[in-house]
Structure formats: C-alpha cells, structure tokens
Amino acid sequence: MNLVLAAIAVVGVSLSGPLMAATAAPVLAIAFWRNAMATGLLAPFALTRHRAAITGQDRHGWLLSFVAGAALAAHFACWVASLKLTSVAAATALVSMQVLFVIAIDALRGRRAPRAVVGGALLAVLGVVAISGVDLSISREAIWGDALALAGGLFAAVYVIVGARVRETLSTTAYTFTCYGICSAVLLIACLVAGVPLGGWSARAWVLIVAVMVCAQLLGHSVINHLLAVMSPVVVSLMLLLEVPGAALVAAAFLGEALPWATYAGIVLILAGLAVVTAASGRARPAETLVAD
C-alpha cells in the first residue's frame, strides 16, 4: 500500500511543474494559493475530528510545526527565485541536493548514515544530473540563482526532517492543515512584500491553480506527509527525485516529443539509488511512532 501511495505522490508532484508552467500567473502567487486552498479544504475535517490534537500541542510541537511550514514556504520562494536567475537545468540539479542535505543534517544530529545510503543517494543525484544536464554559469546573477536553488534544497530537507518529527504526534490531516496554513501565511507576506499580484487572472488560470492544488498539494505533498510516518526522510527525499523525470515524461506526453536517452538513463540511476538506500536503511519506522489519521 505504501508503494502505491508513493507512486501517487510522485505523479502528483510531477504534474506540478507542467501545470504551473501552463498557468498565466506569478509562480509565487500560485504557491500561495495552492497552500491556502488546500488549508481551506482540510479545515472542516481538521477542526472537527482533529481539533483536540492540533490545539493540544505544547510549545515545542507548535515550534516544530511552524518550522516545517516556514521551511516549505522558503523552499517555494528560493526555488521560484532561482529559476529567474539561473538555468532550469542548473536549478533542477542543485535543488535535488535535498537528499544529501537530509543525510548531512542527520549526521549533525548524531545519526550518521551507512555508506550504502550515502552511495545510493549520490547515485540518484547523478541520475538527476544526467536528466537535467550540467549548465552552471559563472555570472554573478547565475551564481546567486545557483545559491538560491541550493537553499531551496536545504529548506526542503528541513521540511521533511521536521515533518517526520511532527508526524510522530500528529495525524496526517492535523499536520498538513497546520503546515499548509503556516506556509500559506508566510507566502502571503512574501507576496505582499514583493508586490506579487494575487488575482486578476483568467478563468483558465484559476482552473489550472486548482489543478495544481489537487495534484501537487493534496495528492503530492499530503501523501508525502503521510509517508513520513512510515518512511525515513532520506527515502522520501530520494523518492521525490523521481519528480524530475516524471515532469519530463508528462511534458513529453502532452507535447508528443521524444525524450533524450539521458532521461531514461537518469530514471534507471534514480531507481537504482532508491533501491540501494531502501535496502540499506529500510522503509518501516517503529510502530509506536505511528499516529492514526
């Protein structure tokens, strides 16, 4: 069942890029609305069935939830900004370093990963590089863009690590409602400060924003948040690397174009890295840490 949910999550996040690219609205505004709309849809369930769990969090629990939501917002902001300053290929390759950041953060916490896990992660990142290519520039603007893409990967790593910790005490619904609410609030402030418009678009743009919310947020991130209770952040981060070839496959299917051979080679490398890490570390987490939805 977890493998089915993982496949759904990968498909969901893979649709994010093509849908957002087809939406005639600022990407930062799309990021705000996808989180705000998802928060609104989850509200009736979260505030009725899970109100006690949400409001009953202690100060530490609220702090962790805030860090997760703010990290998700920072990931969106850095990722969007990097695409305007550097090439898509460079930004994609650098943001995929998320999994290596997860391993590094775990090491700083005294949880040093086995060599097989590190090797598998490097193999999967190499797969992303094979798909996206190496297109780094030395211009000042591109360097800032590359740095923002790396920061986006770091914030994504914080998001999954902290999210896994919060999921030990909160159900998927309670956590996603809290996290998306905090994320949308932070993104709203960012949009207002940056002068990003939050409306005035065509009906088609709004339909596509709703599609992004359903696919990327509910079927993507929400399922990922559920899997954080039964998979390690390293495995989840590796699984998310499949978004890169997934988005390419979706785009090719709609455009009817043939994919370069490097895409298929990259898919093989990512899957091989995921298999190595899964075999080395295992997906299951202790049963006592699970929280029912």
Whether 218 contacts 157, CB under 8 Å: no
What b/e sequence results for 227-256 when a residue is b if at least 16 CB atoms lie within 10 Å of its CB, and e otherwise? bbbbbbbbbbbbbbbbbbbbbbbbbeeeee
Closest among 274, 284, 18, 262 to 129, alpha carbons compared = 262
| Rounded Cα distance, 143 and 165, in Å | 33
The runs of H, that is alpha helices, within 111-242 are 115-132, 140-166, 172-194, 203-212, 222-227, 233-240
Helix pair angle (233-240, 2-14), 10° resolution: 40
Determine the Cα–Cα distance for residues 226 and 5; give it in Å rounded to an integer: 9
Residue 110, number of CB atoms within 10 A of its CB: 6
For the chain, the 3-state helix, strand and coil shares in percent, each to the nearest 5, are 80, 0, 20
Q: What is the DSSP letter of 258?
A: P
Q: What is the pLDDT of residue 254?
A: 66
Please return the burial class of 105, using the count of CB atoms within 10 Å of its CB with bins 0-12, 13-18 and 19+: middle
Helix or strand holding residue 231 (H, E): none
The pairs formed by 112-118 with CB atoms below 8 angstroms and a separation of 24 or more are 113/234, 113/281, 114/280, 114/281, 116/276, 116/277, 116/279, 116/280, 117/234, 117/276, 117/277, 117/280, 117/281
Question: Mean pLDDT by 10-residue block, N- to C-terminus, for the chain (293 residues)?
Answer: 84 80 87 95 93 90 95 90 74 80 88 85 85 65 84 93 91 94 96 94 94 91 89 86 75 67 81 83 43 43
- How many whole angstroms separate alpha carbon 116 and alpha carbon 275? 10
